[in-house]
Amino acid sequence: MPVNSYRFVYDQYGNTREILVYTRGIGVYGNNYTNKGTAFTEEERRALGLDATLPPAVRTPEKQVENSVRTVEAKGDDIERYIYIRSLFDRNVTLAHALIRSDIERYMKIIYTPTVGLACQRYSSMFRTANGLIFYPGNIDRAEDILRYYSHRDIRVAVVTDNQGILGIGDQGAGGIAICLGKLMLYTQGAGIAPWHCLPVSLDVGTNNEALLSDDEYLGWRHRRLTGDEYVEFVQRFALAFRRVFPNAICQWEDFSKQNAFATRDAYLHDLISFNDDIQGTGAITLAAVISAMRAKGEQLADQVFLIHGAGAGGVGVAEQIETALREQGLSVAAARNRIFALDSHGLVTTDRGLEPYKMKYAKEPGDLAWFGEERDGGLENVVRNVGVTVLIGTSGRTGCFNREVVAAMLNNSERPVILPLSNPTSKAEATPAEICQWTGGRALVATGSPFSPVAVGGRPVRVGQCNNVFVFPGLGLGVLASGARQVLPAFFTAAAHAVSGQVAEQDIRDGILLPPVDSLREVSLKVAFAVGRAAIREGVSGLCAFSTFQHNNDIGRLEELIEKMRWEPRYLPLAAR
C-alpha cells in the first residue's frame, strides 16, 4: 500500500483523470481532495466504506453549490465569509472552487484582496488547520526532506513569501501565508492548475512588527527579522531545496519588501523557473492598460512620455515592462529610458541622490534637465508640466496626490491623457475615477488598482477597468508550464500584456474601458497562456512539458491543444477503490 492514502492518475495532457483511493470511511471523507460530501453516490458510499455515515439523500454538485452560496451569503461580514470558504476548501476542495467559479467577481474580493489583508492580520487568532509550508530557522536545514513529503502531489506552482511587504499593510510575520493561499486559488480559477499541484510557502525569517512580537497569541517565529548574510543564506537554502525536489515547477516570489524583491528575483533568474508578481505581474497588467489606451487614442507607445509616481517594487516593475515594450518596438535602451521618468517620496529620481540600486537605471542626470534648475523642483506637477507627460501612473500609496492641478497639467500635454491611479486599497488611490472624469470632462483614459464603481460618462454609467495582476499570473504560469520553458523572460510579460489588452472588446475601447471584466478571467488566462507559450517558442526557450506525455514539439497548434486540455475543472473526479 502506498504511503499516501490516495494517488492521482493523469491523462496524456497531464490533467487528473481519476484518483485511486487506498483507504476507507473517514480516510476518504476527511481528505479534501477525495471528499464529495453529500454528492457521494450510493455506489461510491458502498465501495469506499461510507455506507451509513452520510444522510441517505444524494445532492447533485449543482445543489451543493446553491446551498454553499446561501450559507456563505448568510455570514455577517466578508471575513466570516473568508473563513467559511477557506474551511470549505479544507473539507472539499472541488466544491470550494465550484462555489468561487459561480461568481468569480464576487468571491475573488473575499478569497483575495481586500479581505485577505484582514486574514493576514488575524492569522494567529483565526488559525484552524495547517495550509502549506512554513520554513523558519528551526527547520530550514530540513527543507529538502520536508518538500519531498509533497512530491506525490506533482507540485507545479509554488507561491513563496517572506511576509514583509504584504499588500499595503507591510510586515505581517507568519500571517503572510494567507496571501499565498489566495494567489494559488486564483491560479486554479484562472489557469485551471489543480489545487493539489499548488504549494503555498512562507519563509518565516522573523518579524519587525512590534504588535506581533508582543502578542502572546502570535504563532510565528518570535524574533526580529534576519538581515544581511543570514537572510540571504536562508533564502538560498530554500531555493536550493526547491530546485532539487521540484525542478520543473514555477516559484512565484510574492510580497517581499522592495529592498529584497529585486535582489531575490534577480538572484534566481537562472536557477529556478521563477518571477516576482509584484514587479513583473504589476508591470504587465499596467502595460496592458496602456496598450488599450493606445488603441483608444490611435497613438503609438513610442510617442508617449511616461511618469511613474512611486518608485518601489511595483513602480520600477512598471518602468521595466514599459521599457521592454518600447525596445520591442525598435527603441534603443537609452531612447526607451529617456521616455520614462520616476518619482519617489523625495521627488524626481535623479543621479545626484543616494539611490537604491534598482532605481538607478531610471534616474535622470540633472544637467540634462534645463527646467530643473538650481531649486531642484522635482515635484509631481512641475515634472508633468515640464517633460510633457502623457501617461501618468500612480504606485505611491499617497491618497489624492493626482489633484486637479496635476490632472489639468496632463490635459495640456494630451487631448486624451492616460491616468492610472493604481495604489491599493481604494483609500490610498492617487485619485478616484469620478474625480478624474469630472476634471477632464470624461476625456482622460483611466484604470485603477482597486475596484471602483462605474462612472457617469455622457449620462450613462461606464465600467472602470481594474489593473489586477490576476489577469496575468495564472495564464503566464500555464503558458510556462505547457511550453516547458526553463526560465521566465521579460518578453513573456509583454506577450501577456498584449493578450490581456486583446481581450478588451472594441465597444469597451470606444467607451474608454482599458481592461477586461473580472468575470472573464478564465478566458483571458487562456489567451495569456497561448501568448506566453508562443513567446517561449519564439525566444527559443521552450522544451518538453514535464507534466505531460502529449508533446507539442514547438508546434503552435499542438501547444495550444495541450494548454486547453491540461486545465482542471472543479468537477468531482472518479474515485477508484484500491
Catalytic residues: 112, 183
Contact 362, 340 (CB under 8 A): yes
**Helical H segments across 134-214, by residue range:** 143-148, 177-191, 210-213
Contact 410, 384 (CB under 8 A): yes
Q: Which three cell numbers mark 554?
A: 514547438
Question: Among residues 385, 166, 125, which one has the least CA distance to residue 254?
Answer: 166
8-state DSSP, 429: -
Contact 475, 528 (CB under 8 A): yes
For 391, the 3-state DSSP assignment is: strand
Q: How far apart are CA 536 and CA 547, in angstroms?
A: 17
Pairing, β 198-203 against β 133-135: parallel
Contact 184, 153 (CB under 8 A): no
Q: How far apart are CA 392 and CA 402, in angstroms?
A: 9
8-state DSSP, 69: H
Element (H, E) at 5: none
Q: Is the peptide bond before 114 cis (omega within 30 degrees of 0)?
A: yes
Q: How far apart are CA 37 and CA 59, in angstroms?
A: 9
For 553, the 3-state DSSP assignment is: coil
For 160, the 3-state DSSP assignment is: strand
Which residue is it, cell 495532457? 13
Helices (H) and strands (E) in the chain, counts: 24, 17
Contact 63, 47 (CB under 8 A): no
